[in-house]
Structures are given as structure tokens and as C-alpha cells.
Amino acid sequence: MTATPPKRKTLLLNIVFVVVVLGLLLFLWNAPPETTPRLPQDENHQHFFTMDRKEAESFCESCHQPDGISPLSQDHPPTYRCLFCHKRPE
């Protein structure tokens, strides 16, 4: 026969669990809003909406390189995962 934990210990564990869950919810509730711009819905980007994500990302650097049509800033993160941050409009 297995011994059951004392009621006091069970109550304490339940209280700790509730406090942790409430803390996580409060943290997520206060998260900053998404500020990364979405993929533009213009004629330059329209044909990328029909491609899957990886295929579309392979074309980003052709225009968004230092000497390209629309260069990225110096502090921009690596460009191999563009559509991870720049989501497609819904």
C-alpha cells in the first residue's frame, strides 16, 4: 500500500503551482506588442505569398543586400530566416 502525502504538503504544492501559473500568465499578459513589420503586400512581394516559407526566403537576399534595391540596416539580424519575424499578412 502506498503512503499518501500529508494534506498540508499537498496544499502547499497546490498553492505553489497556482502562484507559478499566475506569475507566468502575468508575465505573458505584459509582453510587449509585436513590432516587426509584416511582409509587404505590394507587387514586388506578391509572388512570394504562393510559395512555401523556405522557398520564399531564398529570394530575400537578392533585393535586400547592401547594394540591392532595398538594403537592410547594419544592425539587422541574419537574413536566412526572414519570414520567421516578417510574417505574411493574414
Which residues have CB under 8 Å from 41's CB, separation 6+? 89
Residue 4: its pLDDT value, please? Answer: 66
Residue 17: its pLDDT value, please? Answer: 98
Which stretches of 1-90 are DSSP H helices? Answer: 7-29, 53-57, 60-63, 82-85
Entry pTM: 0.57
Percentage of residues in the chain with pLDDT exceeding 70? 94
Half-sphere exposure of 11 (CA within 13 A, CB side): 3
In tens, the pLDDT along 4-47 reads 668 889 999 999 999 999 999 999 999 888 888 888 889 988 98
Answer whether residue 1 shows pLDDT above 70.
no
Residue 60: its pLDDT value, please? Answer: 87
